[in-house]
Amino acid sequence: MSAKIIDGKAISLDIKQEVKKQTEQLKQKGITPCLAVVLVGEDSASKVYVNNKKKACDFCGITSISYELPESTKESELLELIKKLNQDKSINGILVQLPLPKHINENHIILAISPQKDVDCFHPQNVGTLYTGGKCFLPCTPAGILELIQRSGYDITAKECVVIGRSNIVGKPVAMLLLRENGTVTICHSKTKNLHDICKRADIIVVATGKRNTLTRDMVKQGAIIIDVGMNRNEEGKLCGDVDFENVKEVARAITPVPGGVGPMTIAMLMKNCLTAAELQSYC
C-alpha cells in the first residue's frame, strides 16, 4: 500500500490561520506584532525567502518592516542596526536573512540579536534553553517537522527516531525536539557506519543531508514515517528532496513530498514565533 502523503501546504495554512486569529485577538488588546526583516546583499534565493516571509506576515496580520542593505554594508553598520532594533519597543522579532556576505561574521550578528527577539532561535541562549528543556522559541524548521508528525496523528513517544544530518539549524535541534517528545533518538552523519541498518529499525526517519537519494527503499522498515527536509535539484532542474520518494512511498506509512512538505512549515513556524514574541513582550 502506498504511503499517506503528509501535506505541508495544508498544515502550514492551518497554522497561519491560527496565528492570524490570535493576532486579531492581540490587536484588540492594542498590540500589533511586528517583525523586522534584514537582508544584506543581492542573493536571489535570499530575496525570494524574504519576500515569502513578508507575504506570510501580511496574511497573518503581522507588520513587517524591511531593511534591505547593500552588499558593501560593514559588520559594524549591521550591528548598529540590530542594536537599534533591539531597543525599539515596537519591534517584536528580528530576522537577519542568512547567508550574509563573507566579510560579515554570522556568529557576531546572531549573538547581537536580543534573545527575546530571536524568532529564528539561533541565539546560543535560546539554543541552550531548548537543550536544557526550558521554554523558549522553537527553531522554525525543526518545530515545523514536529507539527507535521503530530498534526498527522502520529505519536512520537517511545518511537525509534533516526535523524540523518547533524547541522545546528536542522539535525541537532530536530533530534532534541524528538527527544523532548519521548522518542528514542539516533543522530547519523557522514561518518556513520551502517546507516542502512540504523534506518531499517526506525519508526520515524528525518532526512536532512542536502544529498539526493540519501534514503532509499531498502533502508526503510514497512510502515515507517519519513520526513524529507532536503532541497536539491535533479538533472532536469526540478526541486527534489533527500529521499527516493517514488520508491520509499511504497513501503512507508507516511511521507512528506518535496516541494510541499517541510518547506512551507518553516515560514508558518516563524509566524508563530513572532506572535509568541509579541505576547511575551507585552507582559514586560
Binding site for ligand NDP (CB under 6 A): 141, 164-167, 169-171, 188-192, 195, 208-211, 214, 229-232, 262-263, 266
Report, in Å, the least distance between residue 248 CB and ligand NDP: 15
Give the three cell numbers for residue 201. 529499525
Number of CB atoms found within 10 A of residue 214's CB: 23
Least distance (Å) from ligand NDP to the CB of residue 241? 8
Which is closer to ligand NDP, CB of 29 or CB of 191?
A: 191
Shortest distance in whole angstroms from residue 169 CB to ligand NDP: 5
Annotated active-site residue 53? The verdict is: yes
Least distance to ligand NDP from the beta carbon of 209, Å? 4
Nearest to ligand NDP of 14, 279 (CB atom):
14
135 is catalytic: no
Residue 54 is a catalytic residue: no
Identify the active-site residue in 7, 16, 22, 53.
Answer: 53
The residue among 41 and 171 lying less far from ligand NDP, judged by its C-beta, is 171
Q: Give 164 or 225: the residue with its C-beta nearer to ligand NDP.
A: 164
Q: Looking at 7, 97, 117, 172, which residue is catalytic? A: 97
Q: Are 92 and 33 in contact (CB under 8 A)?
A: yes
Nearer to ligand NDP, 86 or 232 (CB): 232
- Residues 6+ away with beta carbon under 8 Å from 241: 207, 212, 228, 229, 230, 231, 232, 256, 257, 258, 261
Taking the complex as a whole, how short is the minimal distance between the CB of residue 87 and ligand NDP, in angstroms? 30
Per-residue burial over 41-64, b if 16 or more Cβ lie within 10 Å, else e, is bebeebeebbeebbebbebbbbbb
Please identify every residue annotated as catalytic. 53, 97, 120
